[in-house]
Structure 1
Amino acid sequence: MTFAWKAAGLSYNRYLSIAGRAVRRSLKEDKRIVAERRGNLDLRFSKWQGGKQGEAKNLADAQTAAAAEASA
């Protein structure tokens, strides 16, 4: 049996992100603002090569650049 998010071609993390955004948008105005602030994350990553850590990059910026590169 395949999960719906997997059949749609989504990763589990992406599925959770979409579901969380839908829940936050359904809240009343005062609670929605507080929940949206909690939902913002600043994730960073770095690639390791030869046992050494590379430059730390912002995940959102890297995803935007990868999407632009893929559409070109």
Structure 2
Amino acid sequence: MDKFLQIIGALICVAALSLMVFIMSASADRGDGVTLLLGMLPFGIPAVIGGVVLAAFGSMLEQLKAIRASLERQERP
């Protein structure tokens, strides 16, 4: 589950940002690029934060599994 969450978190970041860039650039006038980027920020920032949170949670699960395994090894004489 830990690797799955890390991969899904990274894919959410990439997919959401790619989708937002595609949608905003397709629907926007061919004007200023800065205005286009500023228009994408309200959609892109939460997607990136959500992906990072998922990936961090997956990493935390991986560390907890390693801690549990080491504790089980120490309990056995």
Question: Given the two structures, how large is their TM-score scaled by the length of structure 2?
Answer: 0.29
Higher radius of gyration, 1 or 2: 2
Q: RCO greater where, 1 or 2, for CA within 8 Å and sep 6 or more?
A: 2
Q: Per residue, is there more strand in 1 or in 2?
A: 1
